[in-house]
Structure 1
Amino acid sequence: MTLSAREISWSAGGTDILKEVSLTLETGEFLGIIGPNGSGKTSLMSLIAGIRKPRKGEVFLDGSPIAALGRRAVAQRLALVEQQAETGERITARQAVELGRTPYLGPLSPWSPQDDAIVDAALRNVDMGHLADRLWHTLSGGERQRLHIARALAQESKILLLDEPTNHLDIGHQISLLDLVRRQDRTVVAALHDLNHAAMFCDRIAVMQGGRLVALGRPQEVLTVERIRAVFGIEVEVEQEFDGSCFIRYRARRRQPRPFSAIAAVGA
């Protein structure tokens, strides 16, 4: 299963949001997309998912233009978990995950025991089986996010796109969810905010800045002091581990001491 973008650009309200981005996924890899807010991460995810059409360039899924494929055909090959996906319907947690089976259902393919088994497994994978009967609106933001992941797993597509999947999750569930995703037999693309998550779980990292792809490579190649300073405007130390991975240690800006006269004035 292949997915590639060729010089895609996209704009909104006369403003260029994405500029000539080319990217090809390697089968089975975990690709992280990082960059500051407004760099184009979410726009890139929606374009390669086929939700938006590029102003220029084209996205290909298994060698075919994704725009030429039907939504059912795309959904059977590719699943997207968006940042904010809510519903006003009174559905249970299990029913939310069952939506992942929709691309496979039809007049000649009714719901089956196999669909039940797939949904059960997806709920167990995200540790939500015990809340399967709870109504959606009674769940916390983190619980809903885990159900979005379960729905994508139930979809059984070979490509999984995750737009900031760890939002609303505590640190324990952040790590366990990314580890779960990495262990799936799927090609994964995830837009991530935490650079150490990207370093820990990703095979390759794509760096976005100002709507452009400015770097692409293995974590230890991409996450350098100089590049992090240039893209994010922060100072860090990058520790190289013995296994080739890396760890980013953030350095806080030193506070400038107030002049003595100002201190005296405050205490007066």
Structure 2
Amino acid sequence: MRLAASRVSWSAGGGDILKDVSLSVEAGEFLGIIGPNGSGKTSLMSLLSGIRKPRSGEVLLDGVPIGALGRRTVAQRLALVEQQAETGERITARQAVELGRTPYLGPLSPWSPDDDRIVDAALDNVDMADLAGRIWHTLSGGERQRLHIARALAQQPRILLLDEPTNHLDIGHQIGLLDLVRRQDLTVVAALHDLNHAAMFCDRIAVMQAGRLVALGRPRDVLTVERIRDVFGVDVAIEHEPDGGCHIRFRPGRTPPERRTAPAVALATTGT
């Protein structure tokens, strides 16, 4: 199943958040989206999921505009794990994961043993089976995030969208979760903060800067010293590995892009 954005733009609060972004992800591919805070990663994920409608352009799911598909149909094909998704209900960890089966339930298709089996497998996959009976609000942020992943897996999508999925996880669970996702028979799009995670797990990487797509390609082609300096405002050294991978070592001393560019914007405005 193919997911594509064709020249999508989106605005909020009177400002342009995304500007003429086009990209596609092919069946079975792991596409990473990286960029500094405010670059448009989360907004792009919300458009790709169909939660938000672009101001212009369109998002296509297997060639069909996602807005033309019913929410139930979209939910059976695509699952989104957001950065922050909470509930005020008093539910258990297992009940939170059972919500992933909602797109398949109805008057003629009640809960079945197959649903139980799918939920059990999802809990096992994220190493949360032993906490299935715990109340949601007693769980740590990392445990809740793992349950969000389990809920998405229980949804049995063809495409999995992850918006900064390793937030609140310790390093072991960060690597374990991305490895788990990588091994699923899924098409994956993940917004990531850690450039080394993107280099390690992604087939291709899309780089966002100020609402625009500025690079798209294989990790070793996209993650260059010059581009990382320009987009993130940090100096790095990059070690290329024989298998085509790369490892990034950061050097302190650079100012983040938003702080570096603010005075320049002010001067340019004054001079016009």
Could you say which TM-score interval applies, normalised by the shorter chain?
A: over 0.9
Question: Does 2:120 align with 1:96?
Answer: no
Name the SS of the counterpart of 1:10 in structure 2: strand
Q: Deviation above 2 Å: which 4+ runs of structure 1?
A: none
Q: Which runs of 5+ in 1 are unaligned?
A: 255-268
Q: Which residue does the alignment assign to 2:144? A: 144
Q: What TM-score do the two structures reach when normalised by structure 1?
A: 0.94
Mark the structure with the bigger radius of gyration: 1
Distance 1:10 1:252 in 2: 34
CA displacement at 1:62 relative to structure 2: 1.4
Alignment of 1:1-268 (within 5 A): 1-253=1-253
SS in 1 for 2:88: coil
In 2, the alpha carbon distance for the partners of 1:27 and 1:97 equals 25
- Equivalent pairs, count: 254
Which residue identity lines up with residue 241 of structure 1 in the other structure?
E
User: 2:16 and 2:160 mapped to 1: Cα distance?
Assistant: 26
Distance in 2 separating the partners of 1:19 and 1:80: 22
- The structural deviation recorded for 1:2 is 1.2
Q: Which has the higher mean CA deviation after the structures are superposed, 56-65 or 125-134?
A: 56-65
Structure 2 unmatched ranges of 5 or more: 255-272
Deviation per CA, 1:177-210, whole angstroms, max 9, x where unpaired?
0000000000000000000000000000000000
1:252: Cα distance to partner? 1.5
Q: Which amino acid aligns with 1:30?
A: F
Which residue of structure 1 aligns with residue 267 of structure 2? none
Quote the sequence identity (%). 83
Supply the RMSD in Å over aligned alpha carbons.
0.7
